[in-house]
Amino acid sequence: MRLFNTLSRALEELRPLDPPRVGLYTCGPTVYNYQHVGNYRTYIFEDCLKRALRLCGFQVKHVMNITDVGHLVSQGDEGEDKMEVGAQREGKTAWDIAKIYTDAFIQDCRSLDLLWPPEVLCKATEHIPEQIGLIQRLEAKGLIYRTSDGLYYDTAKFPGYSRLAGESHIAGIKEGFRVDANPEKRGATDFAVWKFSPKDQKRQMEWDSPWGKGFPGWHIECSAMAMKYLGESFDIHCGGVDHIPIHHSNEIAQAEGATGKPFVRIWLHGEFLLMNNAKMAKSAGGFVTLAHLKEKGFDPLDYRYHCYTAHYRKQLDFTWELLESGKTARRRLREAAAAVKGEALQPITAELDKAFRAAVGDDLNMPGAVAAVWDCLRGGAPAGAKRAFLEQAESVLALGLFRDEAQAPLPAQVQALVERRAAARAARDFKLSDELRKDLESRGILVEDTKQGQRWRRK
């Protein structure tokens, strides 16, 4: 398997530290709002990577974080914590906000058929001691200084700081640096590892530390949790291209500053999803969620197909027309799958197998992998071989090709009712759970209670 390593700017053969095991860390969501389909483009690319690694015979240990504290509104460690902003916006506590949007994220990941759950799904708020421990190691090495509002990493003392983003990019950050934003910061690329709680104000999320009450900076969580679960050096780290400067450069500085060992062997970065010629972003207003998709009658997997129309290192446009094409293409594939479903399996034609594996192993060339599927369907292979090929392709593509439509995801509103009923039953509120059962039945959904919990099916 060859992958494009942002660090070396070259295609490299994956050679895991401890084959066949592969350690994989992917940066997860900041849970102060819904994730948009742009975010999900990155998670889908990472899911394909994991699936492709499995196809190649690797055993993947995947760690994903949930950022539920410490991500400040501005990149320069200024402004409020996104969690507390979300709490204010919705009149809830920061802890409630974290729970609501973590649950929404998990539901979205399931409806996109991401391999779920990851081997480790870890929350920043549940790893405060690990983060403090890492800051102490950095402090012992003289890499940290204190200002009135927190502890900062002195990036001038970490020689490799510009390695990932490139010298010229870091020079750009230095040029754009405004000292007045934080006059106590020694260098443009220095960043907070611990912020103090404001003296006059109680924060909802704060912890005691050797330096005073406060909360961790955003970047420290990823270094601390990645090393806790994958070791001080591991194989692959992914995220969106926006993380190359700042977040991932900081992760490297923190980990390698503390250990003196290479942190990650291969860095992979997914390009943006664009809407109206700009990066889809929460801050930019118009963003599309999976709920919007479902409201318009799309299956989240139609979007998955759309993602395969561009290589992950190329930008991809989002429009409803393009999504419509994705839906049509996926329907055709599903029809083709239905046509061969009952056939006795036959060995996959070597040529087809080779074409698919070559595409997937060539830096995750998903457009090539999908083209191989269309070639197979058009070609003259026996139906049983087509079935075997499609089943194998589906293990990487996850387009629901063989999925029983009766279990296709429910519209968001109905799904919410299903979940409310499960919660009511768990709380032994049988009156409410009975009412919800009737409501669901009137919407064509039958629920039954089994030893494994509630099940639903379409009437």
Q: Which of residues 122-141 bind ligand AMP (CB under 6 A)?
A: none
* Alpha-carbon separation of residue 22 from 59, 74, 97, 318, 444 (angstroms): 6, 34, 33, 32, 44
Burial (CB count within 10 angstroms: exposed 0-12, middle 13-18, buried 19+), residue 314: exposed
Site membership for ligand AMP, residue 312 (CB under 6 A): no
Residue 222 touches which of Zn ion, ligand AMP, none (Cβ within 5-8 Å per kind) = Zn ion
- Site for ligand AMP contains 42 (CB under 6 A): yes
* Residue 82 and residue 66 in contact, taking contact as beta carbons nearer than 8 Å: no
Of 192-200, 235-243, 335-343, 347-355, the window that binds ligand AMP (rule: CB under 6 A) is: 235-243
Nearer to ligand AMP, 33 or 349 (CB): 33
Considering only residues 3, 7, 14, 27, which one is a binding residue for Zn ion as defined by CB under 5 A? 27
Q: Which residue of this chain has its Cβ atom nearest to ligand AMP in the complex?
A: 240
**What does DSSP assign to residue 291?**
H
Contact between 230 and Zn ion by CB under 5 A: the answer reads no
Of 242, 291, 325, nearest to 414 by C-alpha is 291
Distance CA 457, CA 124 (A): 37
- Pick the binder of ligand AMP from 16, 23, 38, 361 (CB under 6 A): 38
Residue 41 partner contact from Zn ion, ligand AMP, none using kind-dependent CB cut-offs of 5 to 8 Å: ligand AMP
Q: Which is nearer to Zn ion, 265 or 386 (CB)?
A: 265
Minimum CB distance to Zn ion, residue 407 (Å): 34
Determine the angle formed by the axes of helices 218-230 and 249-259, rounding to 10 degrees: 50
- In a 13 Å sphere around the CA of 27, the CA atoms on its Cβ side amount to 24
User: Is residue 409 a contact point for ligand AMP (CB under 6 A)?
Assistant: no
The binder of ligand AMP chosen from 123, 137, 146, 279 (CB under 6 A): 279
The conformation of residue 124, written as its DSSP 8-state character, comes to: G
| Minimum distance from residue 82 beta carbon to ligand AMP (Å) | 9
Q: Which does 125 bind (CB under 5 to 8 A by kind): ligand AMP, Zn ion, none?
A: none
| 247 touches 27 (CB < 8 A) | yes
Cβ proximity of 298 and 327 under 8 Å: yes
Asked if 237 interacts with ligand AMP (CB under 6 A), we say no
CA pair distance 312, 27, nearest whole angstrom:
16
Angle (CA) 183 187 193, round 5°: 90
Q: 216, 239, 400, 409: which one contacts ligand AMP (CB under 6 A)? A: 239
Among the candidate windows 171-179, 265-273, 345-353, 430-438, which touches ligand AMP by CB under 6 A? 265-273
State how far the Cα of 242 lies from the Cα of 246, in Å rounded to an integer: 9
Counting contacts by CB under 6 A, is residue 196 touching ligand AMP? no
Shortest Å, Cβ 74 to ligand AMP:
13
Least separation in angstroms between residue 373's CB and ligand AMP is 24
315 phi/psi in degrees, rounded to 5: -70, 155
Give me the sign of the Cα torsion angle 271, 275, 276, 281: negative
349 binds ligand AMP (CB under 6 A): no
Task: Give the one residue of 242, 324, 391, 439 binding ligand AMP; rule: CB under 6 A.
Answer: 242
* Strands of the sheet with 150-153, listed across from one edge: 144-146, 150-153, 191-196, 214-216
CB-nearer residue toward Zn ion: 222 or 253:
222
* Residues contributing to the site for Zn ion (CB under 5 A): 27, 222
* Residues contributing to the site for ligand AMP (CB under 6 A): 27, 29-30, 38-39, 41-42, 239-240, 242-243, 270, 272-273, 279-281
